[in-house]
Structure 1
Amino acid sequence: MKTKKIPLRMCTGCMEMKPKKELVRIVKNKEGEVSIDLTGKKPGRGAYICKDIQCLEKAFRTKKLEKNLEIKISDELYERLKEEL
């Protein structure tokens, strides 16, 4: 029996490779709106982050989230993402 390949993604905060299902996807759509994608299927540019607020804070502090999504993230948008997470 063949073992199924588990897709891995890198967390933007802690930079660790983890299975895709353990991470949360943050998406920027064509209109430039940033939201959390719990299904992992929304269209747009995505960045993965652990289900941990510390990883989100680290990604925001080092501006890696902005670099991955190619958009400037305001403080109010960051707070909204923090609440949703």
Structure 2
Amino acid sequence: MKVKKIPMRMCTGCMEMKPKKELIRVVKNKEGEISLDLVGKKPGRGAYVCRSAECLEKAFKTKRLSRNLETAISVEIYEDLQKAVVHE
């Protein structure tokens, strides 16, 4: 039987490779709008963050999330991410 490959992505906070399903995706669409993609299916450039407050804090402070998406991240998106992390 063939073993199914698990897609891995790097967290922008801790810089560790983790299974895609364990991470929250932040996506930038063609219009430049930033949104959360909890399903992982939205089109656009994506960056991933662990479901932990420390990783989110680190990704925001070091501006890695902004750099990966090539745009500034608004405070509203950061707050939405904090809510998504808290509810997990």
TM-score normalised per structure 1: 0.89
Gaps of 5+ in 1: none
Deviations 1:20-75 (A, max 9, x none): 11111110111221111011010111001111121111001001000100001233
Gaps of 5+ in 2: none
TM-score normalised per structure 2: 0.86
Alpha-carbon distance in 2 for matches of 1:65, 1:81: 12
Q: Between the two proteins, what is the percent identity of the paired residues?
A: 71
Alpha-carbon distance in 2 for matches of 1:72, 1:62: 12
**Aligned: 1:17 with 2:17:** yes
Please state how far the C-alpha of 1:77 moved relative to its aligned partner: 3.3
Alpha-carbon distance in 1 for matches of 2:5, 2:77: 35
Alpha-carbon distance in 1 for matches of 2:34, 2:53: 17
Please state how far the C-alpha of 1:16 moved relative to its aligned partner: 0.6
* 1:38-49 correspondence runs (5 A): 38-49=38-49
Compute the RMSD of aligned alpha carbons.
Answer: 1.3
How many residues are aligned here?
Answer: 85
